[in-house]
Amino acid sequence: MASKLVTLKSYKWPEEVGNKSFHKELESEVLRSEFTSSPPQNSESLGLPGTWDLGVSQPPNLEISDSFFGIQYSSKLSCVCISRLPWNPLPKFAEQKGVPGVRVQEPAPPRYSLYTRTWLGYLFYRQQLRRARNRYPKGHSRTQPRLFNGVKVLPIPVLSDNYSYLIIDTQARLAVAVDPSDPQAVQASIEKEGVTLVGILCTHKHWDHSGGNRDLSRRHQECRVYGSPEDGIPYLTHPLCHQDVVSVGRLQIRALATPGHTQGHLVYLLDGEPYKGPSCLFSGDLLFLSGCGRTFEGTAETMLSSLDTVLGLGDDTLLWPGHEYAEENLGFAGVVEPENLARERKMQWVQRQRMERKSTCPSTLGEERSYNPFLRTHCLVLQEALGPGLGPSEDDGYSRAQLLEKLRRLKDLHKSK
């Protein structure tokens, strides 16, 4: 019997995204990466690029092209088997109609919504994880830990360009993990260091930062998952607000609210005072070496305020970002500030590092102030370089926000070339 097709004209995602109900559904047969569940009666293979019949008994081909979330391509991501999706907006539709194989054809949502608000984002993350493990069995970059009077920061290269981190109290043998998107790689580091994982600090909900929360929190029974309650973080157990402090042994880690990339984005500041060393900022997707994250869930004013929060920290604060974007970002910085000598010196060092596949982390906030254009919106030379109408004004915040917005557009164009 052929499955019916219906058009869903108005699709509203439920409010439960991010809570235990959604987590349970992540574990359901629909989202199991092995796809070992029994097929529902009369279910058909959809046969469309980028979509799968969720009721097959054998693992389907999950090859996803680089344009998986392209707007044009995503128009094909329309059919799902609603009888297998318990959180679908029409959960009883199939049952009421008596057709187990009913499918819903809905208008294609924007690609970002696909990634963050549907199970397709989870599948895409799983695909990224498999590809990265095959391509970089020892990680995409060679990293070096930093040790400060009994506190150790260990960068862990994951996926194709992400970084997770272990922050270790070497005396207490306790550790917290920052954005452990590959639980296998993070667990290997935990075992190698011989420490107990007691916490996960999640900067935001995106799967390439939160994808390992489930496996690690299950494996380590006393492990707490920290993050913003506004961000729908998977397996969140201990919500944090701005200025909340997480204490682990001698570690004092402060959460700072930095919305813009996502609504609930947090960065984590390890206080250097207890161990008489530099403070460390784990910036997620807010701030990179010579760059900043895209503003997906906010305005330029929101992102500017978040960057200013970071600007208020000390120059010797070490920056540990969520991605290895240094060479690309410094290339863009050279376009907007070609005569910046600090940028030129940093670029030469970064290129030497990358030729040997060495990590470029960390930098310092003092360095970033000298060459990162997204932290230099107050600089007259940058305002003059990017055209009229963006110079100093009585409303300095507004003009800097305009400049930040223009920088972000130019950066996106630079990356697409």
Which tokens go with 335? Answer: 């376009």
Cα separation, 165 vs 136, in Å, equals: 18
220 is catalytic: no
Cα separation, 39 vs 52, in Å, equals: 12
Out of 169, 182, 206, 231, the active site residue is: 206
261 is catalytic: yes
Out of 209, 220, 231, 265, the active site residue is: 209
242 is catalytic: no
285 is catalytic: yes
Q: Is 25 within 8 Å of 86 (Cβ atoms)?
A: yes
Cα separation, 263 vs 286, in Å, equals: 12
| Local structure of residue 92 (DSSP, 8 states) | T
Out of 169, 182, 208, 231, the active site residue is: 208
Cα separation, 263 vs 302, in Å, equals: 10
Site of tokens 């157990």: 237
323 is catalytic: yes
For residue 389, which of 379, 375, 405, 402 has the smallest C-alpha distance? 402
Out of 204, 220, 231, 265, the active site residue is: 204
How many other β-carbons are positioned within 10 Å of the β-carbon of residue 317?
21
Q: Is 189 within 8 Å of 156 (Cβ atoms)?
A: yes
23 is catalytic: no
Distances (CA, A) of 82 to 29, 44, 95, 235, 353: 13, 12, 10, 24, 49
Out of 140, 220, 261, 265, the active site residue is: 261
How many other β-carbons are positioned within 10 Å of the β-carbon of residue 27?
10
208 is catalytic: yes
**Catalytic residue positions, numbered:** 204, 206, 208-209, 261, 285, 323
